[in-house]
Structure 1
Amino acid sequence: MNQKIISLVLGGILCCSALNAQESSFEAPAKNWIKENSRNLGIPEFSGLTLSSVRKSNTGETLRFQQMVKNVPVFQSEIVVHFNKSGKISYTGTESLKKNLKDIHTVPSISASDAFKKAIVASKAQGEIIYQENKLFVYVTEEGDTKLVYRAVINPYENSGSWETIVDAKTGEVISIKDISVYHHRHNDDSHTPKKKKEPKREKIISFKASGSGYVFDPDPLSKTGSAYGGNFADNNDVTNTNLDNARTLVTLSDIEFANNVYKLKNAYVEIRNISAPNTTLFTQATNQFLFNRSESGFEAVNVFWHIDKSMRYINETLGITCRPATNAGAVLYDPHGLSGSDNSRYTTSGTLEFGQGGVDDGEDADVILHELGHGIHHWLSGGVSNADGLSEGCGDYWAQSYSRSLNQWSSSDPEYNWVFSWDGHNPFWDGRITNTTMTYPGSGSYYSKAQIWSAALMRIYNRIGKEKTDRAFLEGLGLTTSTTNQQNAAIAVRQAGIDMLGQFGFNCNDITAMTEEFTAAGYVLPEFSCTLATKETVKETPVSVYPNPVSDVLIVLLKGNKEEKAEIYNMEGRKVMETTIGNNNNRIDVSNLPAGNYILTVKEIELSAKFIKK
């Protein structure tokens, strides 16, 4: 049986919208550190380093310096210098720095437009181009030669793929052409790709935010019902039945677009698009009730929309970590029926997700949806995607498993407890993956096998310190990595993020010990660290008292001091349900009108995040 590959598109630098203006008070000390270590780093004298981005986060401030040769960037070559909240350098990333550069002339002999025409021909791109980029770089070839090149990336609707073409900017020679997507094809290579119909131009219309309802699998029908694949819980060519219909969950579709009397699956975080064949509709309708079953194509459209939206709200609003694509105004574009219906899915560097329909439709399994989103999260935070030893695949597996395990639908003794792709995989179509591998780093086999080392280590940490703290360390840690960081250095970065958050969000020395033990058990080598929580951090760890918990009507929040602060309450879908002010002799929040359930109270100015239960 072939191994199914949930794919991503590699290459390209996509800046995360978390990046602030390229100014920082730490620029001078960061440059001093680079200067003091330039000999050890092997930086050629003819190259320079330019501050390219600054990211401020809960762990401190991260500065990225792009390597340059005569004002032309060196492809995938940068130095990361991170300052913790005490203003001290706590992490540096130098593994992507190109040390074998040769000094070259950086004025191109051919134009960018001519290079792009060559890329169109070389990639056999046909039909509408969904995404394109064309940039000048200093490039180190596989043979070690330094060349001035144009790097073009083209995503055509026909001849689907993400085609990277490297064109010599001096001679016009095409150095390489490859599809930087990773696929597992379950259809014939000569299968017909339907042509995309061009949509008519529309006049600009005024749109409004609206609320809708829809049915989803949360996360999939097998986990929801505790069932095994087969019988009434088999794919059966997308046919529905009473069991599968009953496994659906009715959810709220938040802030969807209402324009010209039509509702559309689009908001600030996610938007449906027709990206690749087949050319299905966008499922707009005159009602806000998107009530489909799995035999209807609209079901996958709603399922993907809701899971991406929920996850993006959790990251950006509940956790307060800015993580969005730089394209399409920060919204994730998705095609619920793409890749010519084949049995794979992909993330592309243009910030798009596409889901195939072979076997179980990929858009019906939250694990597939969140796995692909995990590739994007990795990309947006690190500035690139490294998958040489399965890091990005492991990130996708972790992000999917972190959510599905939080629903507490399987016990730890069930094999499904450690399954990724519980509905789409672990069936006759493909074997799926697991998060309890006994393999240790660096592992063996394909990078899909090695990916399980990373996700398994993170899930063991998850079981010891909890979902929210592991998610925070994972996300903040990726923000310290580069486009070529491997699992080994990512483990150091994730633990360092935990260290830099000591005294915040409940992080304590026991958490750092747990991270150290589990990463070490997975085969990663971590620097020595002795955890001591400073007095000021100990006070910071518990800045307020929040009670009673559970609460039925009034939540008491006792602040230290009299300063007035804004408090926000989020439900477990990541949607803000309440906002008020506390402090200045007001310590009561009336939550009597909230439905029963779990909530998170946040006070960002004092970095409070407290979970409570409304009875």
Structure 2
Amino acid sequence: MSKRRKALVAATAGLASVSLGLSFTSVAGAAPEAAKADPNGLKLVRTKTSLLGKHFWYQQTFKGLPVVGGYYAKHVAKDGAVQVADGRDAVPANLDVSTTVAPASATQTANAAVTAQAERADRARNAGPEKRFAKQPAATSGAAQLAVIGGPNARVVWNVTSRSTEGVTRSLVDAKSGSVVESKVISDNIDGRGSVFDPNPVVSEQNEKLTDQNDKNQDALFLAQKNVILRNLDGSGKLNGSFVNIKEAKGGLAQSKTNTFVYQRANDKFEQVMSYYHINQTQEYIQQLGFKDVNNESQDISVDTYSGDNSFYDPSTDMITYGEGGVDDAEDAEVIWHEYGHAIQDDVVPGFGESEQAGAIGEGFGDYWAVTMSVPVSKGFNLPCVMDWDATSYTTDEPHCLRRTDTGKTTDDIDGEVHDDGEIWSNALWDIHQALGRAKANKVILEATFFYDPDTSFAAAAQDTVQAARLLYGKAAAAQVTKAFQDRKILK
């Protein structure tokens, strides 16, 4: 049965009692705010404010340990109406949470499993008679943490996050038997990417013939560079500010006593400037839309520290990593914006992406966000094409695109791969953009995100988006949003 259980009740009525056979002393009948101090109940982990109200997110716990995937949310509208999302799992009251397996042993087991998984994935991607496979680097990880899995197979586990060529993987290792219960990639990845400016050289120069040439300085790329103002720096002489923190980078962090950061693209510090500028621009735009609580923080960024042609957002550390394979990913602003899109959704909805369709929504939103951020600077050139410059290193067709937001895909095309299925969602969002205009569409889309469940479905998220349109702009806007989702067969 789906975890999605929502109900609207009056603010003064409290929350409807839910019987799940849980061991909580504080359950749905108690005010969740009071439950945050209860080690056996709900722990308040985040409070967010949107245009239509406040949103309280709780982590389900058992004997002080987090329950994997167990959540509870209360959305309080400005008129006092309360909407509840209860995603808790039943945990037997007598579950023994003692451990037999040491954390170091669990970490070793998890890393071995993740390394093997990455090697299998690499072979699958490169299958063919002439392919030779290089040995994949071993996975590395941070500290293991104890947690509980609820449901019919409730148990205590070590939660281990590992970094490999696949990105960041969460492994759950049985704390008594030492077996790996689950290994799941939790980072949001894109494959390979690239270069430039505002947003990238292919778009600004409207030239599909440009190539990376192994990060070489080129006259054509120099002409594509644009002088910009770097706002909201903290004055430290580094690329740190209100909304961006370049935390680590290949070759060391860029520094300037005069806050002057001017480099050509062959210099690795160029990608640091790209990351700072384009993420800062994004957060300023979000705040111009009226949102003051959408990833309003100094986002940690790691630049060119991953040798593969891949970039990812790691929710376990709240860090975006940009790779340097092919075209350096942070040279293409659309790669930067895509990954920041994942950080946005993880900030608004803790643990977002638990289901396949939620993961596809994350990928689709990231692609859409890259395209909508390109609108003011692209002059209409190949707008629905995502990551034009980055894609020059791994595509031959023109225009060069990693993916598109106008494929015409519907739910008939679902294949279970989040990037592929994400094109269904991004197409719907792009149609909403075309129907409502950029500002209205993005207000609706961001507002709806506050009401998503971590394991939401296409249909449920679409309904949240229609409701946001109705409340913000009325029935006519809601009808246009509904049609966008109907065209993709997400809604009937």
The two structures share one fold, judged by TM-score above 0.5: yes
Give the match for residue 449 of structure 1.
420
Give the match for residue 244 of structure 2.
270
Give the match for residue 197 of structure 2.
217
Within the candidate set 68, 81, 105, 2:94 is matched to: 105
Superposition deviation, residue 359 in structure 1: 2.1
Q: Deviations over 1:527-549 (max 9, x none)?
A: xxxxxxxxxxxxxxxxxxxxxxx
Q: Deviations over 1:227-277 (max 9, x none)?
A: 2x21xx221222222221111111111232444xxx2111121111226xx
More strand by share: 1
Q: Is the 8 A contact 1:226 1:410 kept in 2?
A: no
Matched, 1:488 2:459: yes
Superposition deviation, residue 184 in structure 1: 7.5
Quick one: distance in 2 between partners of 1:131 and 1:26?
Answer: 46
- Structure 1 vs Structure 2: percent identity of aligned residues? 25
Give the match for residue 253 of structure 1.
230
Q: Deviations over 1:302-355 (max 9, x none)?
A: 111100111122224553331227xxxx32111221212x21111111111111
Superposition deviation, residue 496 in structure 1: 2.0
Quick one: distance in 2 between partners of 1:51 and 1:484?
Answer: 19
Q: Deviations over 1:492-531 (max 9, x none)?
A: 122222233x3xxxx23322221111112221227xxxxx
Superposition deviation, residue 116 in structure 1: 5.1
AA of the residue aligned to 2:168: S
Give the match for residue 56 of structure 1.
49
Within the candidate set 378, 396, 402, 1:432 is matched to: 402
Within the candidate set 374, 399, 402, 1:404 is matched to: 374
More helix by share: 2
Superposition deviation, residue 67 in structure 1: 4.0
Unaligned runs of 5+ in 2: 1-8, 29-41, 116-136
AA of the residue aligned to 1:359: G
Q: Is the 8 A contact 1:273 1:335 kept in 2?
A: yes
| Backbone CA RMSD of aligned residues | 3.3
Q: Deviations over 1:134-169 (max 9, x none)?
A: 44433148xx511122323255xx989534332334
Give the match for residue 165 of structure 1.
171
AA of the residue aligned to 1:523: K
| Change in 2 beyond 3 A, CA 1:298/1:473 | same
| Change in 2 beyond 3 A, CA 1:132/1:469 | farther
| 1:200-349 aligned within 5 A | 217-227=197-207, 229-230=208-209, 233-259=210-236, 263-274=237-248, 279-316=250-287, 318-324=289-295, 330-340=297-307, 342-349=308-315
SS of corresponding position for 2:214: helix
Matched, 1:478 2:478: no
Quick one: distance in 1 between partners of 2:257 and 2:43?
Answer: 49
AA of the residue aligned to 2:103: A
Give the match for residue 436 of structure 2.
465
Matched, 1:514 2:484: no
Give the match for residue 156 of structure 2.
148
| Change in 2 beyond 3 A, CA 1:419/1:427 | farther
Give the match for residue 608 of structure 1.
none
Quick one: distance in 1 between partners of 2:262 and 2:69?
Answer: 45
| 1:576-591 aligned within 5 A | none
Normalized against structure 2, the TM-score is what?
Answer: 0.78
AA of the residue aligned to 1:515: V
Q: Is the 8 A contact 1:93 1:481 kept in 2?
A: no
Matched, 1:44 2:21: yes
Quick one: distance in 1 between partners of 2:283 and 2:100?
Answer: 40
| Change in 2 beyond 3 A, CA 1:178/1:459 | closer
Give the match for residue 583 of structure 1.
none
Q: Is the 8 A contact 1:79 1:92 kept in 2?
A: yes
| Change in 2 beyond 3 A, CA 1:176/1:458 | closer
Normalized against structure 1, the TM-score is what?
Answer: 0.63
Q: Is the 8 A contact 2:43 2:61 kept in 1?
A: no
AA of the residue aligned to 2:76: F
Unaligned runs of 5+ in 1: 1-24, 187-214, 527-615
Quick one: distance in 2 between partners of 1:464 and 1:177?
Answer: 41
SS of corresponding position for 1:511: helix
| Change in 2 beyond 3 A, CA 1:396/1:381 | same
